[in-house]
Amino acid sequence: MAPRSASTSHPGRYLTALVVLLIVMLASVLGGNIIKPADWHKSFKVGLGLDLSSGTSVTLKAVPPHGGTPNQGEMSKAIQIMTNRVEATGLTGSSVVQQGTNEIVVSVPGAGAQKVATLVGETALLRLRQVLLMAPNTTTGGATPAPSASSAPKTGSGSSSPSSSASASASASASASASPSPSSSGGSGKAAGAGQASASSTPSPGTSASSSPAASASSGTPATGKATLSTTADGSGDPALLKPATVKLFDELNCTAKQGWKQQIYRGVPNAWDNPKVQTVTCFKAPGVGWEKYALSSAVVQGSDLTGVQAVDQQTGWVVTFGVKGPAANALGALTTTMSTAYYNKTTQSATSPLDYLAIVLDGVLQGSPPQVTSPISTSGQINGGTGGFSQSQATTLADVLKYGSLPLSFHNLYTSSVSASLGADQLSAGLFAAMVGLLLVVIYSFLYYRGLGVVSVLSLAIAASVSYLSVILLSKYEAFTLSLAGIAGLIVAIGITADSFIVYFERLRDEVREGKSLRAAVERGWVRARRTILVSDTVSFLAALLLYILSASDVRSFAFTLGLTTLVDVLVVFLFTKPMITLLARTKFYGQGHRLSGLDPARLGARAPWRGGQRPAVGTASSTTRTSTTPRTSTTTREA
């Protein structure tokens, strides 16, 4: 007899581990409703994809401004921007995929057609916005003085004298100076650094340099020693320049919230983070500093106003040069003249206020650290890397960003289709019906062929289905996973994978019984042989699912994901339930002595006894006496009858 292994001696440990796992998963699903049995049904909800619920699909055709066919770089950038927009609204289960060379299909469940078309159909343009206020995402709660005022610059015949610079709070100035910013200048002027920004009012030429910061006194907050979300009082810049709506957004914005900072700004208005005519807020993770919040002016220059963008290798390092056309050149010239005279300390060659910075924003996202304006910019300018300069790759990347912003793709809505909830319900019903038919056929086959062992196979399928169902619910609840019709197909295929695993084990077990082994020994010997086959088979299935997930898109990825998930579940169930349960059943009289309905009847399986004295007597039952070798066929026939 084979030696007793750990699994033979203690199958209860594996079954206990499975029970604990199911309890933990169930508790996670119920969450706060665990003490409210009446609300348990609310927790067992699975997010449904577009093909199983109501939703909208929009097909857009890209139209490049220069005519012809858009290149792959432009299409990839457009897909990335559309995906970010949809995800920022909190709409789950969406997909944005390219179709052909110039079409993009956007599918969003649960959203109206007009909302989706507005959300993704607008062209993403580059914006240049002045930084009005910046602050770390959180503060320690100490007494933080608000930024002091700087007197307004006086305008005379087109020039303005520098005013006293605004002092920043300790926390904000620390974050502002932690990493050197690139500077910018105009005419043949320069801009250092590139970053994201949001909206604020555009300064009008001819008026005094976009009103200088007004005094803003604040007694600070009492020291608590606990990190809290920063407000305008913790920032450096000038809160007096912010509109009330901008102040509210800035104070409530949390760059590290799971919801996402764009979603916090969105508030049901498509592309609210990128309206060029209003002030806005944004987040940026500064290298070596962490997350920072920015309040930005309205757009001074848009991407379509830029010309001749290119990365240039100068003797002092790589820079990005650009030109500005049309009325935007006048507006930018007026603003940067004010910035370079009123806020920039030419004596020390250092910034005295975040108001020096001109943020580069694409679709609401800062494209690096905002450049510092060191001299007026009108019809042309350049951006350098500040201290240390740009590398070639950094300059090229920034130039590409500016090019995509200045030469954006526009999109023509080819057609919009809506999926009704009734159609999705019909598809879901058909999928579930197919699953039930497949499961019923497997159950019938198990009992007809394996008899008593069919109980183990049915319980294995039931546990695999329970673990898979709870996994899908947890993914929907905590990872915004949505189940599509293709995903259901992957779950149905899992029935075959699980059935294949216990069939492999049962056949190995029966082979050992045919060889004359006792059932307890056959359970262990058969498991050693079957385990390797099961692991190899499941590994191949999982790798196929992983490869399909990586190389495919949309619904096919949903199929691959559920297929891979259920393959892992199959391994879990075989090791924690099927094998330990067979071990326990082998200790019972019904299975251990090979009852004719157990599925392990030695006579029915054609088992043979070991060689004894040159004879190989047949075995009728596990406890039968040895018959002579001259009557094996007769005895076997009689036993089966």
pLDDT exceeds cutoff 80 at 540: yes
pLDDT exceeds cutoff 60 at 176: no
pLDDT above 90 as % of the chain: 14
CA angle, 494 as apex, 493 and 495 as ends, to 5°?
90
Sign of the dihedral through C-alpha 73, 79, 82, 85: negative
Report the half-sphere exposure of 591 (CA within 13 A, side-chain side): 21
Instruction: Decide if 186 contacts 380 (C-beta within 8 A).
Output: yes
pLDDT for 371: 82
pLDDT for 114: 64
Could you state, in order of their start, the residue ranges of all structural domains in the chain?
6-46+420-592, 55-122, 126-141+168-210+224-407
pLDDT for 17: 93
pLDDT for 539: 94
Phi, psi angle pair for 333, to nearest 5°: -60, -45
Nearest partner of 62 among 363, 408, 404, 401, judged by Cα = 408
Tokens describing residue 484: 């599509």
DSSP-derived letter for residue 346 is: T
- Cα–Cα distance list, 381 to 71, 185, 559, 632 (Å): 27, 6, 51, 101
Tokens 């009082």 locate to 233
The amino acid at 376: P
pLDDT for 288: 80
Per-residue pLDDT tens digits for 47-78:
777 667 777 788 888 877 666 778 887 788 78
Distance spanning both ends of the chain, measured CA to CA: 31
Q: How confident is the model at residue 609 (pLDDT cuts 50, 70, 90)?
A: low
The amino acid at 483: L
pLDDT for 211: 36
Q: In whole angstroms, give the CA distance from residue 262 to residue 84.
A: 9
pLDDT for 523: 87
Q: Which fold has domain 55-122?
A: Alpha-Beta Plaits (3.30.70)
Q: In whole angstroms, give the CA distance from residue 477 to residue 206.
A: 55
Please list the alpha-helical segments (H only) found in 204-358.
Answer: 244-252, 261-266, 327-338
Rounded to the nearest integer, the mean pLDDT of the chain is 73
pLDDT for 170: 28
CA angle, 315 as apex, 314 and 317 as ends, to 5°?
65
Tokens 């029966």 locate to 510
Per-residue pLDDT tens digits for 75-123:
887 887 787 777 766 666 677 888 888 888 888 776 666 667 766 766 6
Per-residue pLDDT tens digits for 177-224:
333 345 554 443 444 433 333 333 333 333 333 333 333 333 344 455
Tokens describing residue 269: 């208005």
Nearest partner of 320 among 377, 400, 408, judged by Cα = 400
Per-residue pLDDT tens digits for 316-349:
788 888 888 888 888 888 888 888 776 655 555 5
Tokens describing residue 62: 């890209």
Q: In whole angstroms, give the CA distance from residue 47 to residue 39.
A: 18
Q: What is 6-46+420-592's CATH number?
A: 1.20.1640.10
127: left (phi over 0), alpha (psi -120 to 50) or beta: beta
- Cα–Cα distance list, 27 to 44, 147, 506 (Å): 11, 49, 34
Instruction: Decide if 84 contacts 452 (C-beta within 8 A).
Output: no
Rounded mean pLDDT of 549-555?
A: 75
pLDDT exceeds cutoff 60 at 130: yes
